[in-house]
Amino acid sequence: MNQTPTAGRSAILLLAHGTPDQLDEMAAYLDKVTGGRPMPQHVIEELQHRYAEIGLRNEPLPEGPPLTRWTLRQAEMLQEAVDTKVYVGMRNWHPYIADTVAQMKADGITHARVLCLAPQNSRTSTGLYRRALESALNGAFTYDFIAGWADEPLLAQAFAEKLEPTLVEARAALGTQVPVVFTAHSVPCRTILATAGESSRPGAPVPADGIQNYGATSTPDPYPVEAKQTAARVASFVSLTDPDWFFAFQSQGVAGAPWIGPTVEETLKALAEEGHKGVVIQPIGFLCDHVEILYDIDIHFRDAARGLGMQLWRPESLNDSPTLVRAIEQVLARP
């Protein structure tokens, strides 16, 4: 439930996932991601490898890791647009939500509009961010929490603006229509099911077959439906018809539990078997560059496509898209 604002200073708080600043922080970072469940050493090393492939080192990058850099840039652009102080809090790394809340309190903020930079609402993202926020607040200020904004037309427009030139390039290269695969991050199967009971109770031990305790619920998670709805809106903007686009879930976990699909790998194989020689992949669940884009798509999926005799194109990420910033501004202005 949103809380009633009091007289005083208002601000905007953007919540995001967070990412390590350097390779030797990986174990500590994953401890945050899993809610304390230990990760096997081979998983830590595999993720260190992936992050190394996109430029992370054992010393901080001057410009910061991509996700942090672009998230902070989005906050700067939003602050310029709305002339309101904009803060950023990360759930799994610096700047932590709790530290940002403490800074907001010190700055005299009495009310905040809070937006999660994961447009499709899910207990695995939005829900966990809100719980982290509530845990950190301790009455510091009141807030309005925006749980999901996958329906914002400007969000779909922002993705379409990046997709259109890539489609033109791919079609020109192959001289034919090229299928588009829209993607969003996969989640463990159990998190999208309607569940209730002691095993889901907040504070209960993290299940051995899952990454996190997402809390009790009596309704299915809206995430898969909202992700596909975003894809459909983007497809409509660029006049793609049903035979021209597909949807897959990417970046399934490297340890434990079944995750929702279909996977990108399965989808690429099916497209190759249909005779396609190229594919465009656009992730519509991510607002900026990070490892799931720069490694999973640009390296892993591109290699997989090449092995199937296909070329792969990816539109630029939204990153500092002015249309994305206008989308966020519109969402924050909703009653």
Q: Which parts are annotated binding residues for Fe(2+)? A: 185, 292
Query: Sign of the CA dihedral 304, 307, 309, 315?
Result: positive
Q: Look at strands 109-116 and 142-146 and give their pairing.
A: parallel
Of 188, 177, 179, whose CA–CA distance to 269 is shortest?
Answer: 179
Helix axes 322-332, 153-174, angle to 10 degrees: 160
Of 65, 152, 193, whose CA–CA distance to 328 is shortest?
Answer: 152
Q: How many helices (H) and strands (E) does the chain have?
A: 11, 8
CA distance 205 to 38: 13
Q: What backbone phi and psi angles, to 5 degrees, belong to 205? A: -60, 145
Query: Sign of the CA dihedral 48, 53, 57, 60?
Result: negative
Annotated binding site: 185, 292
